[in-house]
Amino acid sequence: MDLLDLLKKLKSIEPDKEFSLNSRNLILNTPPKVRVSFLGILLKNLELGAALALAGLLIFLTIGGFSAWKFFSPLELANFDATSIRAEAQAIDIQIKLANLNYIESTSTLVGGESTKMAASGPGNGTSPAGGALGGEKNNGNSSSSISIDEVLEKLSQ
């Protein structure tokens, strides 16, 4: 028989089944060695440190650290300043009111002016004492303007 064929026949050699099973069980029941490296230890410590730091921060914030945040934080958190926010809100409110006042004043002045023009171009076509009165009362406030309008309307209806 050829040498290479004889060598190939050696491939039929197999381990004893019982030995294989026992050896397998023994090996797999042995815990694998844990490799200790400097980098591994460093990473593990960093991981532990970071976890502890985050847990501490969470506890601190939960207990009431949010109110103390502005004292410790290097950032200026103006949005959390309640007084400035309140003042700003009040200022906005006042501006709106003033704007409304101006609007009312200007509209009443306009109405007064239009009424005067209408009175002036009335049936008499002359200079009306009411018109003069109206012109004089242009800047005298709302109540006086309203009275003048009433008078003008009365005269027009006659």
Partner 1 sequence: MLDGEENLIKRAIRGEASAFGSLYDYYQPRIYRFVLIKVGRREEAEDLTHQVFLSAWQNVGGYKQLGFPFSSWLYKIARNQIADFYRGRREEVGLEKIDPQYLIAPASVQFETEEKFEIERVAAALRKLKPEYQDIVVIRFVEDLPVKEAAAILQKSEGAVKLLQYRAIKELRKLLS
Span of 7-15, 46-54, 112-120, 139-147 interacting with partner 1 by CB under 8 A: 7-15
Span of 14-22, 81-89, 113-121, 149-157 interacting with partner 1 by CB under 8 A: 14-22
DSSP letter assigned to residue 137: T
Span of 3-11, 60-68, 116-124, 134-142 interacting with partner 1 by CB under 8 A: 3-11
The answer to whether the CB of 80 falls within 8 A of the CB of 116 is no
Q: Which is nearer to partner 1, 1 or 92 (CB)?
A: 1
Q: Which is nearer to partner 1, 21 or 101 (CB)?
A: 21
List C-alpha distances in Å: 26 to 16, 21, 32, 94, 105. Answer: 15, 9, 12, 86, 101
Tell me the site size for partner 1, rule CB under 8 A: 26
Q: To which residue do tokens 């109110």 refer?
A: 67
Among 72, 73, 90, 94, residue whose Cα is nearest residue 82: 90
Q: Which is nearer to partner 1, 42 or 96 (CB)?
A: 42
Residue type, 62: T
Q: How far is the CB of 37 from partner 1 (least distance, A)?
A: 9
Q: From CA 112, how far away is CA 117, in angstroms rounded?
A: 9
Q: What angle in degrees, to the nearest 10, is found between the helix axes of 142-157 and 129-136?
A: 170
Q: How far is the CB of 40 from partner 1 (least distance, A)?
A: 11
Contacting partner 1 within 16-55 (CB under 8 A): 16, 19-20, 23-24, 26-28, 30, 32-35
- Residues lying near partner 1 in the complex (CB under 8 A) are found at 1, 3-4, 6-16, 19-20, 23-24, 26-28, 30, 32-35
